[in-house]
Amino acid sequence: MKQKTNTGLKIISLNRKARFNYFFIEFYEAGIVLKGSEVKSLRDGKANISESYAFDSKGEIYLVNSHIPSYKESSYNNHNPKRNRKLLLNKREINKLLGRINIEGLTLIPTKLYFKKGKAKVEIAVAKGKKRYDKRQVKKKRDWNREKARYFRKSS
C-alpha cells in the first residue's frame, strides 16, 4: 500500500521575522477573501506578509498591510496591492480571538500564506510582543548553538 506524501500545501509566503519579534500562543487557520487577479498573483508565488497584522472591525477580522502585487495580465479589473482583506473564520473563533485581543492585549500576526486543496489560507497566530531582553536572549542562544556545532564538527 502506497503512502501519500503530498499534503496538498503550497506555501506562498512565510513571516520569518514574526517568530523573532513575538511569542506565539495559539494558531488558527483562516480563509481569505480575494479577487481573481489576487489569486493569479498568489499562484505565481508573489506575496509579502512580513509587515502585516490582523484587526477587528464590526465583528469581522481583516488582514492589513499584506502586499499582493498586481497581476500583469489583468486589465481594467486589477486590484489594489495593499488593500485590507477579510479573513474567513467561524463566529465562535472570531469571538474567542476578539476576547484575547481586547481583554488580554494580544495581537494577531499572520505567519504563513498558502494554498490548501486549491483554496488560499492564512495561518494566524495569537501573539504577545517580545521585549528587547527576550530578543537578546534568543540571539545569544542561537550564537551559542552555532559555536557548539562548530566545536563538535572540529572535534570529530
Tell me the per-residue pLDDT of 107-154, one tens digit each, with 9 for 90 and over: 899 999 999 888 889 999 998 887 887 788 888 888 999 998 988 888
Q: What CATH number does residue 86 fall under?
A: 2.40.280.10
* Model pLDDT, residue 124: 92
Residue with cell 509587515: 51
Q: Rounded distance, CA 10 to CA 39, Å?
A: 13
Q: Which residue has the higher pLDDT, 115 or 73?
A: 115
Q: Which three cell numbers stand for residue 59?
A: 465583528
How large is the average pLDDT for residues 32-53? 86
Q: What are phi and psi of 92, to 5 degrees?
A: -65, -40
The pLDDT-based confidence of 49 (bands split at 50, 70, 90) is confident
**What is the total count of domains within the chain?**
1
Burial zone of 71 (CB within 10 Å; 0-12 exposed, 13-18 middle, 19+ buried): buried
- The alpha carbon of residue 84 and the mean position of all alpha carbons in its chain are separated, in whole angstroms, by 15
Q: Rounded distance, CA 62 to CA 84, Å?
A: 6
Q: Which three cell numbers stand for residue 64?
A: 492589513
Domain membership of residue 105 as a residue range: 9-130
Residue 1 lies in a domain: no
* pLDDT, the chain, mean: 84
* Model pLDDT, residue 6: 56
Query: Residue 2 pLDDT > 70, yes or no?
Result: no
Residue 135 lies in a domain: no
Amino acid in the structure at residue 4 = K
